[in-house]
Structure 1
Amino acid sequence: MDRHESRIRFCVILLHYIALPNRPIRLSLNTSKETVVLRRVALIIETSRSYGRDLLSGVKRYAAEQASWSMFVELRDLESEPPPWLRNWDGDGILTRSGNPAIERAVTQVGVPTVELRSSRLAKRFPFVGVDNHAVGKLAASHFLELGYEHFGIYRLDTEQFFIDRRNSFVDHLRAAGFACEEFHQSGATEKPSQWERQQARLCQWIQQLPKPAAILACTDQLGCWLLDACRRADVRVPEQIAVVGVENDETLTTISTPTLSSVQLDGHRIGYQASRLLDRMMSGGKPRTTPLLVPPIGVVTRQSSDIVATSDPLLAAAIRFIRQHACEGIRIANVLEAVPLSRSQLERGCRELLQRSPNQEINRIRIQAAKELLRDTELSIEGIAERSGFTTQQYFVQLFKKHCGMTATAYRRSIREPMTQ
Structure 2
Amino acid sequence: MTPKILLLVNFSEEYGRGLLNGIAKYSRLFGPLNFCRIPLINGSKKDLKNVIAWAKAWGADGIIAQIETERSFEKLLQLEIPIIAQDTKERFLEIPNITGLYKETGQMAATYFVEKGFTNFAFYGFDNMVWSRERCEGFSNKVKEYGFDVYVYQHQKEEMPPMWSYKESSLSDWLKALPKPIAIMTCDDNQGQHVTEACKAVGINVPEQVSVLGVDNDLSICNLSDPPLSSISLNTEKAGFETAQLLSKMIANKDFKFTDIYVEPLHIITRRSTDFLAVDDKEVSKALHFIYYNFKELISVDDVVNATALSRRVLEKRFQSVLKRSILDEINTLRIKQVKQLLIETDLSVTEISYFCGYTDIKNLSRYFRRHEGVSPLEYRKLKQTKLISL
Q: Does 1:401 align with 2:365?
A: no
Contact (CA 8 Å) 1:135, 1:169: kept in 2 or not? Answer: yes
2:24 aligned partner: 60
- How far the C-alpha of 1:271 sits from its partner, in A, is 1.4
Residue identity over aligned pairs, in percent, reads 27
* Equivalent residue for 2:80, pick from 94, 111, 136: 111
- How far the C-alpha of 1:149 sits from its partner, in A, is 0.3
* Equivalent residue for 1:253, pick from 199, 218, 221: 221
Contact (CA 8 Å) 1:156, 1:218: kept in 2 or not? Answer: yes
1:13 aligned partner: none
The residue identity in structure 2 corresponding to 1:212 is: K
1:17 aligned partner: none
2:105 aligned partner: 136
Contact (CA 8 Å) 2:65, 2:83: kept in 1 or not? Answer: yes
* Equivalent residue for 2:197, pick from 215, 229, 246: 229
Residues 286/417 of structure 1: CA separation in 2 closer, same or farther (3 Å cut):
farther
Q: Does 1:124 align with 2:93?
A: yes
Q: Cα deviations across residues 183-205 of structure 1 (Å, max 9, x unaligned)?
A: 22224869557x9689x532222
Q: Cα deviations across residues 239-283 of structure 1 (Å, max 9, x unaligned)?
A: 111111122222233222322222222222121122122223323
Q: How does 1:259-408 map to 2 (within 5 A)?
A: 259-285=227-253, 288-339=256-307, 342-408=310-376
- Partner secondary structure for residue 62 of structure 1: helix
* Equivalent residue for 2:63, pick from 91, 94, 105: 94
The residue identity in structure 2 corresponding to 1:259 is: P
- How far the C-alpha of 1:141 sits from its partner, in A, is 0.5
Residues 147/289 of structure 1: CA separation in 2 closer, same or farther (3 Å cut):
farther
Contact (CA 8 Å) 2:40, 2:67: kept in 1 or not? Answer: no
Q: Cα deviations across residues 49-71 of structure 1 (Å, max 9, x unaligned)?
A: 12111111111122222332222
The residue identity in structure 2 corresponding to 1:162 is: W
Q: Cα deviations across residues 83-111 of structure 1 (Å, max 9, x unaligned)?
A: 63224331332222224446524532332
Q: Distance in 2 between matches of 1:78 and 1:146?
A: 42
Contact (CA 8 Å) 2:7, 2:64: kept in 1 or not? Answer: yes
2:176 aligned partner: 208
The residue identity in structure 2 corresponding to 1:45 is: V
- How far the C-alpha of 1:332 sits from its partner, in A, is 1.7
- How far the C-alpha of 1:346 sits from its partner, in A, is 4.3
- Partner secondary structure for residue 328 of structure 1: coil
1:42 aligned partner: 6
The residue identity in structure 1 corresponding to 2:234 is: L
- How far the C-alpha of 1:216 sits from its partner, in A, is 1.2
The residue identity in structure 2 corresponding to 1:164 is: R
Q: Distance in 2 between matches of 1:54 and 1:116?
A: 16
How many residues align? The count is 383
- Partner secondary structure for residue 291 of structure 2: helix
Provide structure 2 residue ranges, at least 5 long, that are not aligned to the other structure.
Answer: none
Q: Cα deviations across residues 288-322 of structure 1 (Å, max 9, x unaligned)?
A: 45543323212222222211111245553343233
1:148 aligned partner: 117
The residue identity in structure 1 corresponding to 2:36 is: F
Q: Distance in 2 between matches of 1:107 and 1:343?
A: 70
- How far the C-alpha of 1:79 sits from its partner, in A, is 4.0
1:183 aligned partner: 152
Residues 335/284 of structure 1: CA separation in 2 closer, same or farther (3 Å cut):
farther
Residues 102/366 of structure 1: CA separation in 2 closer, same or farther (3 Å cut):
same
The residue identity in structure 2 corresponding to 1:57 is: N
- How far the C-alpha of 1:156 sits from its partner, in A, is 3.0
1:6 aligned partner: none
- Partner secondary structure for residue 276 of structure 2: coil
| Alignment TM-score, normalising by the size of structure 2 | 0.87
Contact (CA 8 Å) 2:129, 2:157: kept in 1 or not? Answer: no
